[in-house]
Structure 1
Amino acid sequence: MGERQSAPGGFDGFGLKATAIVAMTCNHVANVFAGQLPAAVLYPLFAVGGLTFPIMAFLLVEGYHHTSNVGKYALRLAIFACVAQVPYSLLWGAVPNVLFTLLVGLGALWLHGKMGRNPLFLLVLMAAALLTLPFDWGCIGVLLVFLFHVVRPEDEAGAAGGGTGPSLRFATGRRIAAAMLVPYLAIGLPALLELPGALEGGVQAQPVMAAAQPSAVLDAQNGTAGGPTTAAAEAAGGESPVTPLATASTDSDDNSLGNQAADFAAHTAENMVPFSLDSLIAGDASPHTANTIAQAGHLAEVWGNIGYAFVGFTLAIVVLSCYNGQRGRPMKWFFYGYYPAHLLIIWLVRAFLLPG
């Protein structure tokens, strides 16, 4: 299908794809380096990352409606999904990546085109949702693809991108927002419901540096923290591996307030165990440190999900409402190739910076 005439303002297809890959990169960097990034960087990265899949799903639907050969479209998706699976698995294990989710979504759209209003299509959609349960974005991804297809006007003039006037953008935004209710409810709502409990646990986990005894630090460095010796000592009524604040300066000969504070600061600085989700995953943390990391890590995960959903998804609605229907610069192969390429680069950076 030929390109439509240029419309003023808004995002064309190239702009949407560029936005998606920037957001995707932010999200993947945040996921891989969550234990090393400060909150001031981590949370904005997650929030921006929330733009990614809604834009990808929207573009898939637009591509389905404008492609002249659905089979070739599906073949491209399948090839790059397989290529990307190698670096994706290196980062996150044997979970099918998001291109497989989009591929199943494309198949659902094609079958819907063949079956029309046949009630049996509901069984097809349910099967597609079940098939993608273990995939990245899972059944929510397939449902979002189908919902974008359903809310898309059939007439070209009223389709997203048929014009750029405020009234049309508002109407488009309402349709997109209606489809986005599914990921809002599936991802955002559970995060909100988890927040009170995470905040309660997070109070005990602040600050996200645990002051521990030198022996506990040594255990953590040797990868033996929480082993039989530590567990046996605790079971026998031994001291907690965490030094109470009140005893931080008992070894000082000068009990002046200034020297007590200095002693405590020196003791704390010497025996800090840096907050790192990796140390929890690897088991290299004392029991208290592991608990602190778990609490702080859970709170960070909840805040990340809230930003991802309520900031990222909302931004996606705004961006998609501004789609002007133009194809833009034809850099199809760049965008296909970027997905596996950036995953490989992130894996290499992680392997270099965080060996072992």
Structure 2
Amino acid sequence: MSYAARKGLNRNQIKYVAIIAMLIDHIAWGVVDPIHPLLGQIMHFIGRFTGPTMAFFVGQGYIYTRDVKKYQLRLGLCALASWGPFIYFEFGYFPFLHPTIPFAFNIVQGVTYTLFLGLTAIRVWESQRLKKPVKVLCVIGLCILSLPGDWPVMDVLGVLFVHVYRERPRAMWTAYGLTFLLPCVGMALAGGLANNWFHLGVLLPILALRFLYNGQGGSRRPVHKWFFYVFYPAHLLALGLLRWT
């Protein structure tokens, strides 16, 4: 994919915008919605920036990372570290500490879990040992496994399509865009636009990445690589404490 001489934002800058958007979204879920629903909708609209953006960069990350196994391990450990804080933020308890809570509510996962499955899907697709029908079945299985996660299915297929179609920009943007746009429009319409128009904020990352991303990584200082992995579980725990105590 060529970004020749394009002015705009680099990968680090866009990731920090995505982190801020995520924080705004989670503050709305935890604090704002019960008090000011309209403001909450606006904040959720902004928050739709994060899931597709992270999927895009994980899809690119398979090529750019020095060690994909370590990259996958970081995502997996972050998902594990975020599991408890995510459930606490969402429901006010930690997994499996309340025997009366249904099992399904104990296995809910955050976005890093879904991104981990997306990166796994790329590794499956790139496997030299598996035939294509088996790869397709494995990807379907990963999509099913993503259902308890944030941005289910979307952050699996979105990651995979960014990688698979990386040499065909038109196909990549079409597949990537539709992966997020169709489900989000469907959710907005199914729930009623009056209370669910925030899902249409998914257009923000699609347009921003298509027209504002300059293809550059930015500074390679370790802080830029590790900040999200630390911030994600930490902010969930902090907002959970604010919400439930």
Q: State TM-score, norm by structure 2.
A: 0.82
Q: Answer whether contact 1:32 1:91 (CA < 8 A) is retained.
A: yes
Q: How many angstroms apart in 2 are the aligned matches of 1:186 and 1:89?
A: 24
Partner amino acid for 1:98?
A: V
Matched, 1:327 2:217: yes
2:150 counterpart SS class: coil
For residues 211-253 of structure 1, the C-alpha deviation after alignment (integer angstroms, 9 at most, x for no partner) is: xxxxxxxxxxxxxxxxxxxxxxxxxxxxxxxxxxxxxxxxxxx
SS at structure 1 position matched to 2:214: coil
1:83 is aligned to 2:81:
yes
**Secondary structure, aligned partner of 1:120:** helix
- 1:21 positional shift: 0.3
**Structure 1 position 349 matched with structure 2 position 239:** no
Look up the match of 1:307. 198
Q: Could you say which residue in structure 1 is the equivalent of 2:126?
A: 113
Runs of at least 4 residues off by over 6 Å? none
The secondary structure found in structure 1 opposite 2:132 is coil
- Whole-angstrom distance in 1 between the partners of 2:7 and 2:149: 36
C-alpha separation in 2, matches of 1:89 and 1:313: 24
Structure 2 match to 1:69: 67
Q: 214, 233, 241: which one pairs with 1:340?
A: 233
Separation in structure 2 between the aligned mates of residue 29 and residue 119 of structure 1, nearest angstrom: 43
TM alignment of 1:114-193, pairs within 5 A: 114-115=127-128, 118-153=132-167, 175-193=172-190
Partner Cα separation in structure 2 for residue 303 and residue 57 of structure 1: 28
**SS where residue 327 of structure 1 aligns?**
coil
Q: CA deviation at 1:304?
A: 5.0
**RMSD (Å), alpha carbons:** 2.4
Q: Which residue of 2 aligns with 1:317?
A: 206
Q: CA deviation at 1:72?
A: 0.5
Count of matched residue pairs = 224
Moved more, 141-150 or 97-106: 141-150
Q: Distance in 1 between matches of 2:135 and 2:89?
A: 36
Mapping of residues 1-356 of structure 1, within 5 Å: 7=5, 9-93=7-91, 94=106, 95-115=108-128, 118-153=132-167, 175-195=172-192, 303=194, 305-308=196-199, 310=200, 312-321=201-210, 322-330=212-220, 331-351=224-244, 355=245
Question: For residues 127-151 of structure 1, what are the alpha-carbon distances to aligned partners after superposition, in whole Å with 9 as ceiling and x for unaligned?
Answer: 1111112222222321222222233
- Specify the code of the residue in structure 1 equivalent to 2:110: N
% identical equivalent positions: 33
Contact 2:11–2:215 (CA<8 Å) still a contact in 1? yes
Query: What is the TM-score when the length of structure 1 is the normalising length?
Result: 0.58
Distance 1:184 1:319 in 2: 14
The whole-number CA distance in structure 1 between the counterparts of 2:225 and 2:35 is 32
| 1:162-211 alpha-carbon deviations (Å, 9 max, x no partner) | xxxxxxxxx5xx7424422132222212421442xxxxxxxxxxxxxxxx
Unaligned runs of 5+ in 1: 160-170, 196-301
Paired AA for residue 324 in structure 1: N
8 Å CA contact 1:151, 1:179 repeated in 2: no
Q: Aligned equivalents of 1:22 and 1:131: distance in 2?
A: 28
Change (3 A) 1:45 1:177: farther
Would you say the 8 A contact 2:9–2:214 is kept in 1?
Answer: yes
Change (3 A) 1:6 1:182: closer
Maintained 8 Å contact 1:46/1:305? no
* One-letter amino acid matched to 1:62: Q
Contact 1:80 1:99 in 2 (8 A): yes
Summarize the Cα distance change of 1:24–1:319 in structure 2 as closer, same or farther, 3 Å threshold: same
Give, as a single letter, the amino acid of the residue that structure 1 aligns with 2:230: G
Secondary structure at 1:81 match in 2:
helix
Structure 2 unaligned spans of 5+: 92-105
Q: C-alpha separation between the residues in 2 aligned to 1:6 and 1:152?
A: 15
Give the Cα–Cα distance (whole angstroms) in 2 for the partners of residues 87 and 306 of structure 1. Answer: 28
Deviation at 1:16, TM superposition (A): 1.4
Query: Which structure has the bigger radius of gyration?
Result: 1
